[in-house]
Structure 1
Amino acid sequence: MHPRYELTQAGDRYFDGLVDKFSRSLYQAPRGELRLAMLDYLLPQMLNLQQQTVLDIGGGLGQQAAWFAKRGHRVTMTEPSGEMLDHAKNWHRVANELPDNAIDYLQAPLQTVGQFAPGPWPLIACHAVLEWLGEPRLAMQSLADLLAPGGQLSLMVFNRDALRLSNAIKGNLQKALSDQLEGQGRGQRLTPISPIAHDQVVQWSEENGLVVESVAGIRVFQDYLRQPAVAPHERDTLLALEKRYCRQDPHWRLGRYLLYTLSKPETRE
């Protein structure tokens, strides 16, 4: 019998007790490998990277923090789960050739990061975090407050529209029709409690004075394949397909994740 997990008082889901599941099912599996490959491909295109300091919010197992650190950025990685943060520290130390003191660590949820690392930050990464919060709209305000004028926010969210299509393909027609797509967040299944639509990101950005500079879909095709791409040449072809169409309309709109670059305009005297 699987353990039962409880949401925080704020209605958020943390991932203590799920380090092995995350590592095994998300990052040692084809879908996780493709997600990281697409981020490696897209982030240099979508961000103005100048080895500026980076705030990595909800950094999980530490892959994104390591990616920035290897490229010369000084990174502060935050994560509310102590177990996830410990795993990231150990993995950074053992498996990565990183500059000394390249990454600082802070155990804190997004809502309290500003108390300990207020910035303002020229570059913030917040990947696959908002969909695990009870109030993702409020979180956008926190992110905007942390971002420096002229700064960039790399935001990745779990796409509600893709989740609806996936349920329909699986035959869950009533679930798709009723639009009751949210996970409960109390078991080991990793259906987000607050899947997010593109229009919501646009609205919340406008509410907080942020500008949507660019958007891309991640895993546009992979999750809908009738047969998974297993052979190396099939996986190479899939990756090429994902790269070709990840920023083209209408394909990006059905990526399992949506990746945004948001900017905060410079203040004028």
Structure 2
Amino acid sequence: MTDSTPLSPAGDRHFDGLVEKFAGSLYGGPRGALRLAMLDALLPEMLELDGQPLLDVGGGLGQLSAWFARRGHPVTLLEPAGDMLEQARQSLEGLPVSFMRAPLQALPERTPGPWPLIACHAVLEWLSDPRAALATLADGLAPGGQLSLMVFNRDALRFSNVVKGNLQKALDDRLEGTGKRQRLTPISPLSHDRIVAWSRQCRLSIRAVAGIRVFHDYLRHPPASEDDWQRLVALERRYCQVEPHWRLGRYLLYTLVKEGDLPTEGNVR
């Protein structure tokens, strides 16, 4: 297979040429629908929202930007893939969203803030240096500002490989993707412990955490009816913040707050 989406010079995975794959097989299917449904329920609970400006870093096709814009937030969508950005521009026409083609690393030069609210969902796991990326996001926050961060969960990826029978791969801890093919296995899947440690280093406190798709990705068969789908959504909603279930969500969703002092042990799980 040819490298339709080669790595950037920095070693990051960008998604030029994959608009149809994202719009169809991801967001057009049950995985994407469940992810968006969970965000719709969790974001108002996990964030303090009052219409403040939002920077959506790596905003892709614009689903998250649309969610905030429709709730009164002026949004700046930052995205490195040109075709993704153009699709988002068309989809979000008429909403208070401005668009900027740039990678996360360009944030200090292109749109430094300070921002009261930043969202960065499903981005860090595609970067060669996610630790530096989190520091860049933290630097862009105003004191007391909130970062809505969602990352691909390394522990869930390991569990999924075991369920699929990839036992040696799990034993060898060979979980990262190469980023050089159309398969969407992240190059830098992240564990909760790593986010906790990096947040401390970046002077961010963890206000809340939840698992996204705690059960769905381990089902032997997809829901067979609308009633089963609703039961699955109810289960996901009930246990997404309950120990130990949230720790095996395919994604981990965090609210991080920039504080003046280093967070204490009481701020993290």
Q: TM-score scaled by structure 1?
A: 0.95
Mapped to 1, the partners of 2:64 and 2:4 lie a distance apart of 28
Whether the 8 Å CA contact 2:203–2:260 is kept in 1: the answer is: no
Deviation at 1:3, TM superposition (A): 4.6
Identical-residue share of aligned pairs (%): 62
1:247 is aligned to 2:241: yes
Deviation at 1:266, TM superposition (A): 4.5
Deviation at 1:2, TM superposition (A): 5.3
Counterpart selection for 1:160 from 154, 159, 172: 154
Give the equivalent residue in structure 1 for 2:265: none
Give CA deviations for 1:139-186 in whole Å, capped at 9, x if unaligned. Answer: 011001001001000000000000000000000000001111000111
Counterpart selection for 1:257 from 216, 233, 251: 251
Which is worse superposed, 19-28 or 226-235? 226-235
1:221 is aligned to 2:215: yes
Q: TM-score scaled by structure 2?
A: 0.95
Give the equivalent residue in structure 2 for 1:58: 58
Where 1:217 maps in the other structure, the secondary structure is strand
Give the root-mean-square deviation of aligned CA atoms. 1.1
Mapped to 1, the partners of 2:224 and 2:50 lie a distance apart of 37
Mapped to 2, the partners of 1:52 and 1:266 lie a distance apart of 20
Give the equivalent residue in structure 2 for 1:129: 123
1:204 is aligned to 2:198: yes
Whether the 8 Å CA contact 2:4–2:17 is kept in 1: the answer is: no
Deviation at 1:8, TM superposition (A): 1.0
Give CA deviations for 1:34-85 in whole Å, capped at 9, x if unaligned. Answer: 0000000000000000100000000000000000000000000000001100
1:25-44 residue pairs with structure 2 within 5 A?
25-44=25-44
Deviation at 1:26, TM superposition (A): 1.0
Give CA deviations for 1:99-150 in whole Å, capped at 9, x if unaligned. Answer: 4xx0010100000012111100000000000000000011011001001001
Where 1:263 maps in the other structure, the secondary structure is strand
Mapped to 1, the partners of 2:224 and 2:74 lie a distance apart of 37
1:1-269 residue pairs with structure 2 within 5 A?
3-93=3-93, 98-99=94-95, 102-266=96-260
Give CA deviations for 1:221-261 in whole Å, capped at 9, x if unaligned. Answer: 00000111141111111000000000001000000000000
Give CA deviations for 1:176-227 in whole Å, capped at 9, x if unaligned. Answer: 0111100011111000000000001001100010001110000000000011
Gaps of 5+ in 1: none
Amino acid at match of 1:68: F
Mapped to 1, the partners of 2:236 and 2:149 lie a distance apart of 19
Mapped to 2, the partners of 1:2 and 1:33 lie a distance apart of 30
Aligned length: 261
